[in-house]
Chains A and B, each alone.
Chain A
């Protein structure tokens, strides 16, 4: 069993810094998702954990053990590649047996382990099939089984679902999560799809431009984004952010949004932090947390677009600086051009410093 500690990890490719001082502790048995847009450094981080790339500086510890200079074949990590990297010239059985065979395990033991893993992954009837004529979900299971047979303490998965169509992805997400429960290994999962990260991970590490933005449980990063990037990146659509200035009112601290008027009073937890702010702030709330108010107080904006996503309806309001999205039930009686008044649920409001991009909260 193995926890992973990344300490001051830096990776440079020539002049380009792929990863800037990353510190991350992944607990033993945890499912950690590295989430971020492409080029954010998540795959680089993963490759360094696997030993495919050497860090420019910093340390990688598995438990207490420093991994510097340990070649990738000796790290005891299982790695599932984006395209699975199945040995297409071999049968499923040969793929599964590859690791033990290369380490010179006796034939009887190989057979036993292959049998066990095939049973667990429901590959037993396919063992003698050629690996190049299998469907994607079977390929994925072979890829996982081939690594799992080595009983690695750490499992690394590099966007394993990105080649799969949307319908299938849902099935595979469930399957993967169940597999992790079975194996109980430390898993690091690289993805750019927040839905995958949200549904499977115990914790998510959100990254952008080689910088770790926030680490937290799926609900933490969703509810309390540490900064503007996380606020915008997490959630579909991301958090609404409106520029304004803190202002005192008789009802408490509010944000003056200029032409949009003033907001309802801020939640008590963040009032103190926002009160001391200099200059502009960003007033943020989740599209899902907005309610339509008839004639009440709220943001009064014209409807510019209505996006039906099936279960719900995303209403686009306003334009430019004052663009806001709100998610309503499908029976919402709005039409393009109409003016709607929306109010964010008070508890869900977050405020960010415009200059630093950081969330403003007490402490």
Chain B
């Protein structure tokens, strides 16, 4: 099977023709993907900024001996933003996954009103992230609905300043992310769940497996690939968390909810140190690429086992 895969699909002649035919598209891709990357790499080695009075191509005159990269290693604000991004990811992605999986399991069976609940459930995903951010900003005001509900439930007037407390602000931001992106997880996992062969589940039942055993021994292994895809999508997206969060807290109070994207945004628009921003972005790209390669390798292995 490996031999079959390694064999070229087209004979040499055909492959050469194919290359020539796709050349224009390849050049286009080169410009879209590779050119900006090289430009970024170039700028990241300099002190260039749009206010430096130089075109970016002459940024070499501001060459700074890798100072951006050495600064980066010593930038505590960068590292804490990175740590915060990781925390958000570690909390949100598993929460979205487990909620999505539970909902998908629920929706795999028929129940009255399923269609309506289904539509309602998908709605958060349709909301523009900026709007969602504003919604949650309002919800978590100290006189807002969240505190009202807590007051009604506890019987005491609750006036928690959600978005002014460093810890609570981070929690609020994570709740917003979970609210908005659980539906996507649910949708992908439901597709995977529906694809599990009914016969095999019945066969397992006839062999005496209880629902939990069926879930663990049949359903989950069959969904493995789709679970990896769903997790990969959310990990990558979550790493870039920005819009909802920025509207809600602007990265504050202080830097309490400042993630990598927010930090980069501030450096770009407020500090205007583009050379440094390019260095950060490049470092992140490298880290994410390495993670992606690992994930792809695992996925390829999983597929090989299945195929």
Which residues of chain A have a CB within 8 Å of any CB of chain B?
50, 52, 71-74, 77-79, 81, 83, 85-90, 98-99, 102-103, 130, 132, 146-147, 150
Contact = CB atoms under 8 A, between A and B. Distances in A.
B202 interface: yes
Contact of A79 (B197, B203, B222): B203
B137 to A, nearest CB: 46
Given A89-B306, A132-B306, A98 B200 contact: no
B204 A81 contact: no
Given A88-B306, A89-B306, A102-B213, A81 B207 contact: no
A73 B221 contact: no
Interface residues of B, number: 20
A102 B209 CA distance: 5
A73 B203 contact: no
A194 to B, nearest CB: 26
A273 to B, nearest CB: 47
Contacts of B203: 79, 81, 85, 87, 146
Given A74-B208, A98-B217, 14 more contacts: A52-B202, A71-B205, A78-B206, A79-B202, A79-B203, A81-B199, A81-B203, A85-B202, A86-B200, A87-B204, A89-B222, A99-B208, A102-B210, A132-B307
B205 A72 contact: yes
Contacts of B217: 87, 98, 102
B272 interface: no
A98 B206 CA distance: 11
Nearest to B202: A52
B82 interface: no
B209 A83 contact: no
B148 to A, nearest CB: 47
Given A81-B199, A81-B202, A85-B200, A150 B207 contact: yes
Nearest to B198: A85
Interface of B: 197, 199-200, 202-210, 213, 217-218, 221-222, 305-307
Contacts of B218: 87
Given A85-B197, A87-B218, A89-B222, A79 B209 contact: no
Contacts of A90: 221
Contact of A72 (B200, B206, B213): B206
Contact of A146 (B197, B207, B305): B207
Kindly list the 4 A-B residue pairs having the minimum CB-CB distance in the complex, ordered from nearest: A85-B199, A99-B207, A85-B203, A102-B209
Contact of A102 (B199, B202, B207, B222): B207
A88 B221 CA distance: 10
A347 B208 CA distance: 53
Contacts of A87: 200, 203-204, 217-218
B207 A73 contact: yes
9 contacts: A73-B210, A85-B203, A87-B200, A89-B306, A102-B204, A102-B210, A130-B305, A150-B207, A150-B208
A104 to B, nearest CB: 10
A50 B206 contact: yes
Contacts of A150: 207-208
B147 to A, nearest CB: 48
Contact of B221 (A79, A85, A89, A130): A89
A81 B207 CA distance: 13
A103 B208 contact: yes
A103 B209 CA distance: 7
A330 B178 CA distance: 77
A50 B205 CA distance: 11
Contacts of A132: 306-307
Contacts of A89: 221-222, 305-306
A79 B221 CA distance: 23
Contacts of A102: 204, 207-210, 213, 217
A346 B252 CA distance: 102
Contacts of B204: 87, 98, 102
